[in-house]
Amino acid sequence: MKLNDVSLSAECYKVRLMLSLLGLDYEPAPVDVMAGEHKSEEFLALNPFGQLPVLVDGDATLWGSHAVLVFLALKYSDGNWMPADPIGAGEVMQWLSVAANDMQHSLNEAWLVAAFNIGTDLEGAQARAEAVLDIMEQHLQTRDWLALGQVGRLTVADVACYPYIAVAPDGKIDLTPYTAIQAWMKRVEALPGFVPMLPN
């Protein structure tokens, strides 16, 4: 199994975290984005959209972090990570959408501006981030994990959202008021196989 990725990317980190939580060995294949390697003919043959991450597992080539998370969960776990029942799958999909839309265009954008000077609208991104964090904080006040019923159960939804929350401080977003989110982060970080975005 080979993972085409880049180290400083919430999208790619989601997949590295999932692989590690599942205890799977893989060959890292770093892509030199600064040199435009993700737009090379060779890379576009893997993913025509020229985006990372891309996982190659035998005959299967999967691109897009959520596609890879769902693929890994269904192939290498007992179904706990990606439920098959309509309501459970629907709940997980809701939080995958929150990650892909609401969190990417707020927490991730704030991080890119503050840490890498990519983009300009830090205040707008921070304001959108606060709106998402407020909803997530209230949601997590009564449950341990994002999806699945009244108490929640660990799923790919938590893996998809964690990286955006983890980069919040580097986007100059203060997580101190969000005690339920902080408790959830500690639960994620205590999981066997947890790895941070960058090696310590």
Span interacting with its own copies, options 27-35, 55-63, 167-175, 190-198, rule CB under 8 A = 55-63
Report residue 77: phi and psi, to 5°: -135, 175
Rounded Cα gap, residues 127 and 149, in angstroms: 29
Residue 145 burial (CB count, 10 A): 18
94 lies in the binding site for its own copies (CB under 8 A): yes
165 lies in the binding site for its own copies (CB under 8 A): no
Place of tokens 């304001």: 127
Span interacting with its own copies, options 29-37, 92-100, 159-167, 187-195, rule CB under 8 A = 92-100
Burial class (CB in 10 A: 0-12, 13-18, 19+), 73: buried
97 lies in the binding site for its own copies (CB under 8 A): yes
**Shortest distance, position 74 Cβ to its own copies, whole Å:** 4
66 lies in the binding site for its own copies (CB under 8 A): yes
Burial class (CB in 10 A: 0-12, 13-18, 19+), 176: exposed
| Selected binder of its own copies within 24, 93, 175, 180 (CB under 8 A) | 93
**Shortest distance, position 132 Cβ to its own copies, whole Å:** 8
Cα→Cα distances 137→14, 80, 110, 180, Å: 21, 24, 19, 6
Residues forming the site for its own copies (CB under 8 A): 48-49, 60, 62-64, 66-68, 70-72, 74-75, 82, 84-87, 89-91, 93-94, 96-98, 100-102, 135, 138-139
